[in-house]
Amino acid sequence: MKLAKLAEDYFKRAMIRIKSAELAYSEESYPDAVRYSQECVELSLKAALRAVGVEYPKEHDMSRILRAVRERFPEWFKREVEKLGEVSRDLADKRAPSLYGIETLGKGPSDIFDKSDVEKALSDAKYVLDIVGKLLLELQTIPEKDV
């Protein structure tokens, strides 16, 4: 499968995740909104990595790999790598608690996440989605290579 097609598929799925996060937020299902925001970020960044020919690690936090391969990206995207990495790391850290809570503390997911957590997660996820969307749009003008 061509890298551009994989990137496009991941990005479409990321857009569905942000819609799911917004729905969960509107239903006051804050842990689910955080989880879907994290998935949006993960899929978006994996789309960006695929688009430039990088095999990403099978983990949730893309910050390390983004920094390692930043030279593959256009200059404007390179300037965003640190912030994209911070968002990825932050939301990846919240992934498990948003689903399982923190059992050792006797806290369920709903005890951990509130409206302000979701507003930040949604804002961060939309930022990543926007930046990656611009990247993918720009890279469409470059002839793709079969890999």
Q: What are 35's two structure tokens?
A: 């989880």
> pLDDT tens digits, residue range 24-38?
999 999 999 999 999
Mean pLDDT over the full length of the chain:
93
Distance from C-alpha of 95 to C-alpha of 138, rounded to nearest angstrom: 30
For tokens 């498990």, name the residue: 96
Position 56 scores a pLDDT of 87
Is-above-0.85 flag for pTM? yes
Domains of the chain: 3-139 (1.20.120.330)
Tokens, residue 87: 């968002």
| 3: confidence class by pLDDT, cuts 50, 70, 90 | low
CB 44 within 8 A of CB 59: no
